[in-house]
Amino acid sequence: MSILLTGGLGYIGSHTAVELLNRGEDVIIVDDLSNSKIIVKNKIMQITGKKFKFIKADLKNLKKTEKIFKNNNISAVVHFAGYKIVGESLNHPIKYYENNILITLNLLKCMEKYNVYNMVFSSSASIYGDQNEMPVKETFSTHANNPYSRTKLYIEEILKDFYNSNNKFNFAILRYFNPVGAHESGLIGEDPNDTPTNLMPYITKVATGELKELSIFGNDYSTKDGTGVRDFIHVCDLAIGHALALNKLKEKPGVFICNLGTGKGYTVLETVTTFNKVNGNLVKYKFVERRSGDIAISYADTTKAEKELKFKAKYNLEEMCKTSYKFEKNNK
């Protein structure tokens, strides 16, 4: 039996593939390469010394999706495939709704037809939107404020409806905070096709000289240094979270919703300063206006992850900064 990773050559998918292969699982990766590179397949094999099946396919196509389920013995789906750039989603909402939701619907149809009952879904802490209280608990109300986040929220609702219609299914919905860092080998990491919009990949490209200077969006928030606060979590910790979530599904939890973060918030300025401390003084920055749609502070309540998943993030911010830069240098 194999675990199907949709979007498995992408940033979080590739690290999860490594984790699962290292745990002795059989993995099948399907990816349309729209925001990933085929070379990642070989990198995963190089890191793990293991082989796995790769299928290039667009899961918006039901026939192609069905063929994958028909031809393989799949025990569970870890569903990463989806567009993820907030700004782009504001300009191209249909593209986001069509891609992210249609892929999920096709997967659910096939899971039902081929009796595959377990799915781990990549959700996002951005569905919490702006909250008055920190840390953020899973029980908080949701306030998705852009099409990207709304696709994540709507998919969560679709999974719940699907479960209510047939409770043979099990869904683990993982709400990621801010994934950063890279595998310690420096072989895989975050590698966006376009100029990055997220903080860490922007920082690493300034460090290598590919981009000139980091703009810090806002220094007038009510935080200790005025810059935004985020819960940065190392992608290898996240990958472990997925492996634990797959185990949890075997215990039959129905719909299990869980934050994946460290529970600690760091400011953007602290993050840049830490990066400069561990990698040499490489990142110049300036303060500019706030970015529209940004919230001041976001960090996770990790109680549920600790209790029910036995998950505790182990990498610190220095390791996140070191590995992010190591990958960027290797990959340049």
Contact residues: ligand UFG, CB under 6 A: 84-86, 124-126, 178, 197-199, 202, 214-217, 228, 230, 268, 291, 294
Which residue, 230 or 248, is less far from ligand UFG as judged by CB?
230
Residues 6+ apart with CB under 8 A from 110: 62, 65, 66, 68, 69, 116
315 labelled catalytic: no
The residue among 42 and 208 lying less far from ligand UFG, judged by its C-beta, is: 208
Question: What distance in Å separates the CA atoms of residue 283 and residue 254, rounded to the nearest whole number?
Answer: 46
68: closest CA among 31, 119, 43?
31
**242 burial level (CB within 10 Å; 0-12, 13-18, 19+):** buried
Best CA proximity match to 171, nearest among 115, 255, 109, 295: 255
Output the residue with the shortest Cβ distance to ligand UFG.
Answer: 228
The answer to whether residues 241 and 172 touch, using CB atoms and an 8 Å cutoff, is: no
Output 64 or 291, the one with its CB closest to ligand UFG: 291
- The residue among 40 and 260 lying less far from ligand UFG, judged by its C-beta, is 260
N-terminal to C-terminal alpha carbon distance within the chain: 37
Please state the closest distance from residue 243 (CB atom) to ligand UFG, in A: 21
Catalytic residue among 96, 128, 148, 202: 148
Q: Which residue is it, tokens 């699962």?
A: 20
Q: Which residues are catalytic?
A: 148
